[in-house]
Structure 1
């Protein structure tokens, strides 16, 4: 009986391990995290904040967070933001903190640029996104944090980005624009049940982070706002984006990992990323983009159940000579597209560089990308696939894709320096994408093999 009990226990452990592998293969969004209430809570008004939309509350937010440091080793604490419009400049978070916005609570970013301090560029970029040199710190920041929850009862964080967009368009910026939320080198992060409006640049930017869950989020910026990305996972691992809606001026979701030699040297890939059940819209950008800053590498990304509407480009892979790095082992499945100009766009000529220090011989590797189970209506062109001469994109696999094309062009697909496989695709893709067998394709089952390795 004892031997039988041991055998049963071993079988249970093996089954649990297999379930872990399967869950890893299916994506980080299947990880169930329990959010325990914080044993301590304070309200921002206790620190002199006034929610009239006019009083500047930067010091109140800073003082509240500083006070809550004393509870970090006592189960953490919550900073509660009640109904009102809470004008503030930039402030930092701490570990073991919950920032909670009540319904009808609005944190409003100051339009005074001095309230957004100047900081050094990220080491994997070497400069700001807009200009060489330094950048403005984001509205809400975290550095080297553990266990942070930013949530609410659908409260709002408004970056008031219009003035920043005007400064960018008029070329009067002195430093690169800030984001609404940026978390750096942090772990165990949850962002949920909030609306992000009018970011000066990107709305949510986790960089060098792991174990990040972003869910039930609404992001909106006017469609003519310049380079306002929605969510930008950057050199992150074990990250989930789900059950959200994003409408912005540039890329709705953009997966990145550093820029040219800076990203190559920093060498931190974006990996084990899961995106599920998200509505995306961007008339001047890409709904889901990989790169173009991808020099640290991007791999093991599983995307499923996206709705992409009224967008310039549906799925975009972009890189260039000088990037180095890789984008590989990607599965994108179960997409619905409507009113999209370019369904798929792969380019090796996204050639903006941070400076002249890049190595033009640092060639990126783009391989094993699977796109399957896609239905598109009112699509202008099906696909543009343009790799790099002497550095082709390989293992590009298309399966079960039906696109209703509206253009009068003589061809719906354009291909060069690319190879792959296709089946059940309409309209029929170019011959470059039928040159391999299905053995070259990366599938969801392959995630398990790599998890075991």
Structure 2
């Protein structure tokens, strides 16, 4: 039984009727609160969705031209400004191919991209001025986002049309991610190749930025010589309240696709988010330091993490101190991505009270991916996941990793994913923490590793429950530097010689573990800090050997019943 199935959180979207007269809708609409007390002992607060006047401004009536050649930037922004000044309403982008530069949203405006409409952002990089913003959780100067808004209330992008960010003129491309023919065509199209001949850049300025030391702050004018390198996120919303994104397709972003930062009451529904699979930093959704959100019935097929939760990076993130919290993600699909549902690695402000239910990951590098590193700080806690189906996962089905190294989660040919021996460091505010996760009802058909839990010597991954899972993978369960981990009713379908490996971990319960075939070893324990490990209600008769412990493991570290 999937605990979250059928929970009523069905908010009413803002309605668009192009023939409607003036009609003000009084008061915001509210998704009802969700009670999760029975399963998790916590209730989600309500998510408030925006509402709009039905006044409609059709951009074609203001002189916009849908010929794919005329730049309609000024008219689009004029329509949004006019709608805002008139008390709000709908700005209609009707069917057609509309070329535009960057758009600035305004409060009380619903940008409705109709069926058959393609809002194509220009590939002329000079149309996007440098602005002060953030990048990967820290203050930065970047090019203005194709769509942006700051300190707004009651905003939406709706419809069933397409918004294309022209990301191909911004992104670098690694040779290793293309076929030989694709690489030749890309190089012949223009741009420059680095000295190693293994990466293509859209311009010499972009390559210069990739090899330069980038300042973290400063005036935009100080970055003009590397402007092309400073790729924008496609949709950048900062300190906004009551946001609705519904129905449209966002595709081909220069960097991250959707980036709400410090926003509240966010509803994302029935979206399609698409990027080329090789798109560097081509995340689908990054919710950063946001609270009270609903993400449902969305599809992601992108070049980096699919659905990602963040809260700032390192010292700046800790100083901001705003967690991402009270978010429900349900009924979503993720195709190619570095991770299906992801937390981190920029989580320095903390993450808490997240609920993920009934999602499907197909062909992602990692399924459930929780990543951080020394220096981040921050606490990730109270994460509840129920009902995940996965297939064709290149790396780990479930991953807790406190050694994130900012590289692809699946090693390239010839690369190693093994960690060197790393000594403990003193605890500080820069020490990150993962704790209090509940993961239930997970199916995975095909992965490299079923479950990998990898904490720090000074800070274990703590208080993790994984219950009712069937995981088919080349490797089984690997647990390093962890505490209070519980696997209950977990099937590890693997041909590995050793099904489960535990290193320097304590207070582990392995209850009702099923496994396939006749492995040479069911459980290997290593590390002089491994203790209080319990193997319960498990038929060990099919394994040639039940347990093997290294010489430095304390006596009586394992109990079987």
Q: Give the TM-score normalised by structure 1.
A: 0.83
8 Å contact 2:372–2:402 — kept in the other structure? Answer: yes
8 Å contact 2:48–2:242 — kept in the other structure? Answer: no
Pair 1:380–1:352, CA change in 2 (3 A): closer
Pair 1:100–1:257, CA change in 2 (3 A): same
Q: Which of the residues 137, 145, 151 maps onto 1:144? A: 151
Q: Which of the residues 363, 372, 375 maps onto 2:440? A: 372
Query: Between Structure 1 and Structure 2, which shows a larger proportion of helix residues?
Result: 1
Pair 1:361–1:36, CA change in 2 (3 A): closer
Q: Which of the residues 55, 62, 68 maps onto 1:40? A: 55
Confirm whether residue 412 of structure 1 aligns to residue 476 of structure 2: yes
Q: What's the counterpart of residue 508 of structure 2?
A: 435
Separation (CA, whole Å) in 1 of partners of 2:155 and 2:148: 11
Q: What's the counterpart of residue 105 of structure 1?
A: 117
Q: SS at the partner of 2:360?
A: strand
Q: Give the TM-score normalised by structure 2.
A: 0.67
Q: What's the counterpart of residue 64 of structure 1?
A: 79
Confirm whether residue 333 of structure 1 aligns to residue 333 of structure 2: no
Q: What's the counterpart of residue 220 of structure 1?
A: 274
Q: SS at the partner of 1:59?
A: helix
Offset, 1:122? 2.8
Pair 1:93–1:374, CA change in 2 (3 A): same
Confirm whether residue 363 of structure 1 aligns to residue 369 of structure 2: no
Q: What's the counterpart of residue 208 of structure 1?
A: 262
Superposed CA RMSD in Å reads 2.4
Q: What's the counterpart of residue 35 of structure 2?
A: 22
8 Å contact 1:40–1:71 — kept in the other structure? Answer: no
Q: Which of the residues 426, 434, 438 maps onto 2:491? A: 426
Q: What's the counterpart of residue 183 of structure 1?
A: 237
Separation (CA, whole Å) in 1 of partners of 2:136 and 2:69: 37
8 Å contact 1:421–1:433 — kept in the other structure? Answer: no
Q: What's the counterpart of residue 308 of structure 2?
A: 254
Match runs of 1:145-294 below 5 Å? 145-152=152-159, 154-166=160-172, 169-170=200-201, 171-172=206-207, 173=209, 174-175=226-227, 176-282=230-336, 285-294=338-347
8 Å contact 2:47–2:265 — kept in the other structure? Answer: no
Separation (CA, whole Å) in 2 of partners of 1:123 and 1:247: 22
8 Å contact 2:130–2:142 — kept in the other structure? Answer: yes
Which segment drifts farther, 241-250 or 418-427? 418-427
Separation (CA, whole Å) in 2 of partners of 1:84 and 1:371: 45
Separation (CA, whole Å) in 2 of partners of 1:390 and 1:169: 40
Deviations 1:88-144 (A, max 9, x none): 11121111111001101111111111212211133993344xxxxx11121111111
Instruction: Name structure 1 gaps, 5 residues minimum.
Output: 1-18, 129-133, 354-358, 439-453
Confirm whether residue 299 of structure 1 aligns to residue 299 of structure 2: no
Separation (CA, whole Å) in 2 of partners of 1:368 and 1:437: 17
Q: What's the counterpart of residue 313 of structure 1?
A: 366
Separation (CA, whole Å) in 1 of partners of 2:124 and 2:304: 24
Separation (CA, whole Å) in 2 of partners of 1:95 and 1:434: 52
Q: What's the counterpart of residue 526 of structure 2?
A: none
Offset, 1:48? 2.2
Q: SS at the partner of 2:459?
A: coil
Pair 1:371–1:123, CA change in 2 (3 A): same
Confirm whether residue 389 of structure 1 aligns to residue 401 of structure 2: no
Offset, 1:304? 0.3
8 Å contact 1:243–1:277 — kept in the other structure? Answer: yes
Offset, 1:70? 1.7
Q: What's the counterpart of residue 356 of structure 1?
A: none
Separation (CA, whole Å) in 2 of partners of 1:206 and 1:429: 40
Separation (CA, whole Å) in 1 of partners of 2:487 and 2:109: 48
Instruction: Name structure 2 gaps, 5 residues minimum.
Output: 1-31, 173-190, 192-198, 210-225, 408-426, 493-498, 512-561
Pair 1:361–1:189, CA change in 2 (3 A): closer
Q: SS at the partner of 1:42?
A: strand
Which segment drifts farther, 344-353 or 231-240? 344-353
Pair 1:105–1:433, CA change in 2 (3 A): farther
Q: SS at the partner of 1:388?
A: coil
**Which of structures 1 and 2 has the bigger CA Rg?**
2
8 Å contact 2:34–2:44 — kept in the other structure? Answer: no
Match runs of 1:336-347 below 5 Å? 336-341=389-394, 342-347=396-401
